[in-house]
Chains A and B, each alone.
Chain A
Amino acid sequence: MTDTAPTVWELPPKPTNRARIALIIGAIVTFTTLTCLPAIGGVELDFASLVDNWRNGARLGREFLQPDLSFLPRTYRPMLETLQMAVVGAGVAAVLSVPLTLWAARQTNPRLATRQPVRFTINVVRAVPDLVYATVLVAVIGVGPLPGLITLILFDIGIVVKLVSEAIDAGEHPYMEAGMAAGGTQAQVNRGVVLAQSWPFFTNQWLYVLELNVRISAILGVVGAGGIGRLISERRAFFAYDDVGAIVLEILVVVIVIELFSNLVRRRLT
């Protein structure tokens, strides 16, 4: 290699979005900074106290990882209640979700005046976190599984109606034209053929919310809405982390079993 002058290349101008990228990064940084200011409600990043507490935590963590399995018999009744809530909640939600979904999808309900209120209500219902429902309902109805059940039903309907109505609207339904040409009403076409065609969407979401329900109903008891949550809360307050570990292990097993069952049913249905 001889000692020549460096080559000068004639390059085409490099396309950059410099300005746009800078803007986006700027926005993100600003937003993040604002979230760290306790004065306006941001999070106070006090990592020192965090480190202190972790030493405490190490001890509890060790207890947690050595669950006290002899505690399990005390968990059976509450766990059963958790499962019952999950199952009944999913079942009721499944039944109610069918007419609501058909109302909410554009292809099965061309009338905007009846569709918009349903969609808006569903969006509002979905905007409320599950435990918020549970907290308010417990204050209204009282402690027990009923507020938890209602919470699950509302939560499930929000999910199923939104997802299935979107799936229906995203698809093509040419057979609907045949039904209308034969002189059927929208309701007849929906019940007679659309439902059969959309059935897989429904069953898929129903199984999904069943799985979700088990995990959610396990914690509803923390605010008094039934299930094993109350026991978790109680044991934790006594710092009996080995008991808590046992309960969490039990929940894990149940969740995995339900997931396996759900996958089995899914495969049988398709």
Chain B
Amino acid sequence: MTDQHEVGPGADVSSPTSWSIHLNNVSVTYPNGTTALRNVSLDIPAGEMVSIVGLSGSGKSTLIRVMNGLVPVTTGTVAVGPHEVTHLRGRQLRQLRGHIGMIFQGFNLAERTSVFRNVMVGRFADTPTYRTLLGVSSERDRDLVFAGLDSVGMLDKVWTRASDLSGGQKQRVAIARALAQGPSVMLADEPVASLDPPTAHSVMNDLRHINGERGLTVLVNLHLIDLAQQYTTRMIGLRAGEIVFDGPAAEATESNFEHIYGRPIKSNDKLAN
């Protein structure tokens, strides 16, 4: 039922350069008047695994999205690797995004189509538009898709319809999509909020593995304290758009968390009980 498939050279993406991230006095105010970030400055060296913790509405979503330009900054600068995000437009912005992989709370897969085509989305930045329009993918693109799926253990599901997968499997496919880009940075916006505890641990493990094995810089938005402490080395606490904590995740105390959340810790702030 399976083919022996010799994947050619260029299919290994285990050694792209990892990038650092620098935010300098970044503020973001949305057109409707809400200020999501206030004067945020941040330095993340290449290869670090960082969690961003805070209540919903603290600015976590905005913070992670200014890094690949999905949300434009109002003032300040953002630098990812050698690129100044804030000045990039059009083709250059897309090329930058090709180097940044992103996964989402809702998985953001196209449910009606196959896992293969979903992961192929990760190859968009590297493919000329006309090829995508014609629906032809190169041998190399296919190899990268298979390699990405294999590294998250989803290769056997490559032709399955995305809607037939469980939540954890969908998030893995999303990770494969990000890996197929050959990224230098990995962003994860609440990747496990929709998953049950064992699956959540499993996905967080995958992210930690990606950080360890490939040395990628990984940023994860989380609202669960224990996951932040268990899987990341550095933790940044956001409250009302400002950084109120920045330090080693393992050393954060309960009072640190209360300061970040602005309220006492509740039981649903932790995954395990």
Chains A and B share a contact (CB less than 8 Å): yes
A interface residues (Cβ-Cβ under 8 A, vs B): 174-175, 177-185, 187-189, 191-194, 196-197, 199-200
Do residues B102 and A192 form an inter-chain contact, with CB atoms below 8 A?
no
A177: which of B94, B104, B117, B122 is its contact (CB, 8 Å)? Answer: B104
Do residues A182 and B122 form an inter-chain contact, with CB atoms below 8 A?
yes
Closest-by-CB residue of B relative to A99 is B133
Closest-by-CB residue of A relative to B137 is A192
B177 at the interface (CB under 8 A from A): yes
Between A178, A183, A196, the greatest number of chain B beta carbons within 10 A of the residue's beta carbon is seen for A183
Q: How far does the Cβ of A234 sit from chain B's closest Cβ, in whole Å?
A: 49
What's the Cα separation between A196 and B68 when bound, in Å? 26
B interface residues (Cβ-Cβ under 8 A, vs A): 68, 70, 94-102, 104, 106, 108-113, 117-118, 120-122, 124-125, 127, 129, 132-133, 135, 174, 177-178, 181, 187
What's the Cα separation between A181 and B102 when bound, in Å? 7
User: With A180-B70, A183-B94 as given contacts, are A192 and B120 in contact (CB-CB < 8 Å)?
Assistant: yes
B106: which of A174, A180, A183, A199 is its contact (CB, 8 Å)? Answer: A174
A183: which of B97, B113, B117, B135 is its contact (CB, 8 Å)? Answer: B97
Contacts of B174 in A (CB 8 A): 178
Do residues A184 and B104 form an inter-chain contact, with CB atoms below 8 A?
no
Q: How far does the Cβ of B60 sit from chain A's closest Cβ, in whole Å?
A: 16
What's the Cα separation between A63 and B127 when bound, in Å? 68
Q: How far does the Cβ of B230 sit from chain A's closest Cβ, in whole Å?
A: 26
Contacts of B95 in A (CB 8 A): 183
Contacts of A179 in B (CB 8 A): 121, 124
What's the Cα separation between A160 and B29 when bound, in Å? 39
Q: A178-B108, A184-B94, A192-B121 are in contact. List 15 more A-B contacts (CB 8 A).
A: A178-B102, A178-B121, A180-B97, A181-B70, A181-B97, A181-B100, A182-B181, A183-B94, A183-B99, A183-B124, A183-B181, A187-B133, A188-B133, A193-B113, A196-B113
- The 30 sampled A-B contact pairs (Cβ below 8 Å) are A174-B106, A177-B104, A178-B108, A178-B174, A178-B177, A179-B121, A180-B70, A181-B102, A182-B121, A182-B177, A182-B178, A184-B124, A184-B125, A185-B94, A185-B129, A187-B129, A187-B133, A188-B133, A189-B124, A191-B132, A191-B135, A192-B120, A192-B124, A193-B110, A193-B117, A193-B121, A196-B117, A197-B113, A199-B112, A200-B112
Between A181, A196, A199, the greatest number of chain B beta carbons within 10 A of the residue's beta carbon is seen for A181
Closest-by-CB residue of A relative to B127 is A188
Please name the 8 residue pairs, one residue from A and one from B, whose CB atoms are nearest each other, closest first. Answer: A183-B125, A184-B124, A183-B97, A183-B98, A178-B108, A196-B113, A193-B110, A181-B102
What's the Cα separation between A175 and B133 when bound, in Å? 18
Do residues B132 and A182 form an inter-chain contact, with CB atoms below 8 A?
no
Contacts of A194 in B (CB 8 A): 110
What's the Cα separation between A174 and B104 when bound, in Å? 10
What's the Cα separation between A182 and B187 when bound, in Å? 11
Do residues A175 and B109 form an inter-chain contact, with CB atoms below 8 A?
yes
B110: which of A175, A182, A187 is its contact (CB, 8 Å)? Answer: A175
What's the Cα separation between A179 and B98 when bound, in Å? 10
What's the Cα separation between A188 and B117 when bound, in Å? 12
Do residues A182 and B98 form an inter-chain contact, with CB atoms below 8 A?
yes
Contacts of B117 in A (CB 8 A): 192-193, 196
Do residues A183 and B177 form an inter-chain contact, with CB atoms below 8 A?
no
Contacts of B68 in A (CB 8 A): 181
Q: How far does the Cβ of A187 sit from chain B's closest Cβ, in whole Å?
A: 5
A178: which of B98, B100, B109 is its contact (CB, 8 Å)? Answer: B109
What's the Cα separation between A196 and B111 when bound, in Å? 9
Closest-by-CB residue of B relative to A173 is B110
B108: which of A177, A188, A200 is its contact (CB, 8 Å)? Answer: A177
